A and B are shown apart, each in its own frame.
Chain A
Amino acid sequence: MNAIKHLFADLDPLLHERGRMAIVSVLAAVDSLTFTELRDQLEMTDGNLSVHLQKLDEKGYVAIDKKFVGKRPQTTCRLTKAGREAFTRYLDHLEAIVRQGRTKPGA
Chain B
Amino acid sequence: MDARQATQTLEVIRTLMERTTQYQLLTARASLVAGSLAGAGALAFLGLDAADPGHFGAVWAVVFVGSLAATVVGTLTRGRASGEEVWSRQARTVLFALAPALFAALVLTVFFFARGWHLWLPGVWMLCYAQGALATSAYAPAPIRWLGLAVLLLGGPTLFLSPEWSVGMMGLVFGAGHLTLGAVLLTRERRQASLRLHTDVA
Contact = CB atoms under 8 A, between A and B. Distances in A.
Interface of A: 4, 8, 11, 18-19, 21-22, 25-26, 28-30, 33, 37, 40-44, 48, 91, 94-95, 97-98, 100-102, 107
B20 A30 contact: yes
A28 B17 contact: yes
Interface in B1-23: 1-4, 6-7, 9-10, 12-13, 16-21
Nearest to B4: A101
Chain A: interface secondary structure?
A: helix
How big is the B interface, by class? 20 to 34
A97 B17 CA distance: 21
Contact of B10 (A8, A30, A41, A94): A94
B201 interface: yes
A95 B200 contact: no
Given A30-B21, A40-B85, A41-B19, A21 B9 contact: yes
Contacts of B198: 42-43
Given A33-B20, A98-B10, 19 more contacts: A4-B1, A4-B2, A11-B1, A19-B201, A19-B202, A21-B13, A25-B16, A25-B17, A26-B16, A26-B17, A26-B19, A26-B20, A29-B18, A41-B20, A43-B202, A44-B202, A91-B10, A100-B3, A101-B6
B89 A18 contact: no
Contacts of A41: 19-20
A18 B7 contact: no
Given A19-B202, A21-B201, A44-B202, A94 B6 contact: yes
B142 to A, nearest CB: 15
Nearest to A105: B3
A4 B6 CA distance: 11
A4 B2 CA distance: 7
B3 A97 contact: yes
Nearest to B6: A97
Contact of B201 (A22, A29, A37): A22
A101 B3 contact: yes
Contact of B17 (A11, A29, A42, A44): A29
Contacts of A42: 198, 201-202
Contacts of B2: 4, 97, 101, 107
B10 A95 contact: yes
A11 B201 CA distance: 18
